[in-house]
Structure 1
Amino acid sequence: MAASEVLTQAAQKTAEVTSYTVDAVVDVQHPQEGAGKVQGRMVYQSKPQLAADLTLDTVDMGGRGVPGGVRAVLQGDTVYVKVQALNEMLGATKPWIKVPLAETGDAGEARRYLDQIQQFDLGNMTKLVTASQDVKAVGTESVNGEDTTHYSGTFPVDVAVQQLPADEQAQARQGLAELQNVKFDIWVASDGLPRKLALSGSKEGATLDATLLFKGFNEPVSIEAPPADQVGELQQPTTN
């Protein structure tokens, strides 16, 4: 198959995946805000209900780190967030905060961690690269012990973002820092599913480099909500 057909098929196949694990590292550089890094792992399932368990060991933006990292568990229409700094800001007494998805628009910090889940999403990331007009096979390589074919190319951000669901396009543009063109490398195994994806781009002094490793396709996963006695309701920060 032509390289572009491989990517189209990969996007179709990822839509059928019901569970997976992704390890990701994202490095950004901004002329005003400085360097930033996000590193972590997400376990995802779409059945019997949508659920994700995100652990961010490193969250550092412009030299401002998040002590203790971040945990976010998505269960159906609710996200549970565990962030020490967020708890202190909201005056929470329990380690976890429960945020109904319908309210995340009013909960800026909680929404930010939910957006991280979208940036680690296998389906969305694979859809982005299908916008490429210049992808080509560049060789075969082993990824985590599996044989893969390595493809490389670029995609225009404005066209690529249009491949995503309408309600996720704005966040994707923001996540890609409105870069004009993004270079990508994707490693696809014989089953047509990606095992690794690397993205890099720059614009006016801002740069983004991301590497995602995928595994555990359609394997059983256990994503549990935190114990009820450790969960508090979302409280808006008090003002004096």
Structure 2
Amino acid sequence: MRRLAPALTLGAAALIAVTGCGAQSAAPLGNVKLAAAEAVQQSAQRAGEVTSYSADLVLDATGGEKGAGKIQGSVVYQSQPQLATDITLDTITFDGQNVPGGARAIFTGDTVYVKSQLLARFAGANKPWLKASISDIEAEGQKDVRGFLEQARQFDLAGTVKLLTTSKDVKAVGTETVGGVETTHYSGTFPVDEAAQVLDPAKQEPLKERLSSVKDVKFDLWADGQSLPRKVTLSGSENGDSLNLTVLFKGFNEPVTIAAPPAEQVGDLPKNPAPQGG
């Protein structure tokens, strides 16, 4: 049952751009037209001012040690009254195998609740949900789980759009309607090494590792009249490895409900879960 780690790692990779955001609000730009590079900068700023949102995502990857894989799911995020994220991965496949039941993770404060048939089997759990304090997942026995959580929480919406600001070739390519909203479509590329430098130091190496097989990442950004990112795609390929990520954002600053699962359905994540055979 050591396939837990690659399954969750692949799932976490899909969470780029969808697990966090900043706070406060800003006035819309109205009919002001911006140069492409300036528009992406403005979108990065606006992304950091969102207090809640929902997103649908799809990740397809090929090559590498895990072979072909696909992730499909959704995310609900809020920063007020407290930081919380609800991540549902309905489809997780890798190397031709489907992870039964997908996975779901709820982050509230410093606690994470995870629902996964695979993780429950790995941990020998008898409850559908497992919980743990983020600070407690430092024991060596939680290495696989820790890796998943670290990656899942690592990127935020503002940080991801900020990566796009390092592009030297971004251009506007037209207007399109996304989710019923009129947007301007921007396209370009960014170099992974240079883009990593705009992130917090703790996030730089993990980004480089995740995109180690891709030197340059192609992106497309669809921004609405308030410069909010309604859709982002990232893609890249090199030496037989490829990735394609699509995220659709909606419900900016709308009320959301993110709550811990019922107590009777929750068990504690074992301190040192023993690998299961199979």
TM-score bucket (shorter structure):
over 0.9
Closer/same/farther in 2, CA of residues 111 and 239 from structure 1, 3 Å limit? closer
How far apart, in 2, do the equivalents of 1:195 and 1:10 lie? 10
Please report how far the alpha carbon of residue 133 of structure 1 lies from its aligned counterpart in structure 2 after TM superposition: 0.9
Matches within 5 A, 1:1-240: 1-106=34-139, 107-115=142-150, 117-118=152-153, 121-235=156-270, 236-238=272-274
Q: Would you say the 8 A contact 2:213–2:237 is kept in 1?
A: no
Please report how far the alpha carbon of residue 239 of structure 1 lies from its aligned counterpart in structure 2 after TM superposition: 7.1
The code of the aligned residue for 1:134 comes to D
Report the 3-state secondary structure (helix = DSSP H, G, I; strand = E; otherwise coil) of the residue aligned with 1:213. strand
Please report how far the alpha carbon of residue 111 of structure 1 lies from its aligned counterpart in structure 2 after TM superposition: 3.0
Please report how far the alpha carbon of residue 122 of structure 1 lies from its aligned counterpart in structure 2 after TM superposition: 1.6
Q: Would you say the 8 A contact 1:51–1:75 is kept in 2?
A: yes
Q: Would you say the 8 A contact 2:57–2:245 is kept in 1?
A: yes
Q: Would you say the 8 A contact 2:186–2:222 is kept in 1?
A: yes
> Hey, what does 2:5 align to over in structure 1?
none
Please report how far the alpha carbon of residue 47 of structure 1 lies from its aligned counterpart in structure 2 after TM superposition: 1.3
How far apart, in 2, do the equivalents of 1:137 and 1:105 lie? 45
Report the 3-state secondary structure (helix = DSSP H, G, I; strand = E; otherwise coil) of the residue aligned with 2:186. strand
Please report how far the alpha carbon of residue 117 of structure 1 lies from its aligned counterpart in structure 2 after TM superposition: 3.5
Please report how far the alpha carbon of residue 179 of structure 1 lies from its aligned counterpart in structure 2 after TM superposition: 1.4
> Hey, what does 2:28 align to over in structure 1?
none
How far apart, in 1, do the equivalents of 2:108 and 2:126 lie? 22
Report the 3-state secondary structure (helix = DSSP H, G, I; strand = E; otherwise coil) of the residue aligned with 1:59. strand
Q: Which runs of no fewer than 5 residues in structure 2 stay unpaired?
A: 1-33
Cα deviations across residues 37-75 of structure 1 (Å, max 9, x unaligned)? 111000001111110000000111212321001000000
Please report how far the alpha carbon of residue 2 of structure 1 lies from its aligned counterpart in structure 2 after TM superposition: 1.4
Report the 3-state secondary structure (helix = DSSP H, G, I; strand = E; otherwise coil) of the residue aligned with 1:24. strand
How far apart, in 2, do the equivalents of 1:239 and 1:43 lie? 31
CA RMSD, Structure 1 to Structure 2 (Å): 1.8
How far apart, in 1, do the equivalents of 2:266 and 2:202 lie? 28
Q: Would you say the 8 A contact 1:80–1:97 is kept in 2?
A: yes
> Hey, what does 2:9 align to over in structure 1?
none
- TM-score under structure 2 normalisation? 0.81
Q: Would you say the 8 A contact 1:147–1:189 is kept in 2?
A: yes
Identity %: 53
Question: Which structure carries more strand by proportion?
Answer: 1
Please report how far the alpha carbon of residue 32 of structure 1 lies from its aligned counterpart in structure 2 after TM superposition: 4.0
Closer/same/farther in 2, CA of residues 188 and 202 from structure 1, 3 Å limit? same
Please report how far the alpha carbon of residue 164 of structure 1 lies from its aligned counterpart in structure 2 after TM superposition: 1.9
Runs of 4+ deviating beyond 3 Å: 115-121
Deviates further, 169-178 or 43-52: 169-178
Report the 3-state secondary structure (helix = DSSP H, G, I; strand = E; otherwise coil) of the residue aligned with 1:34. coil
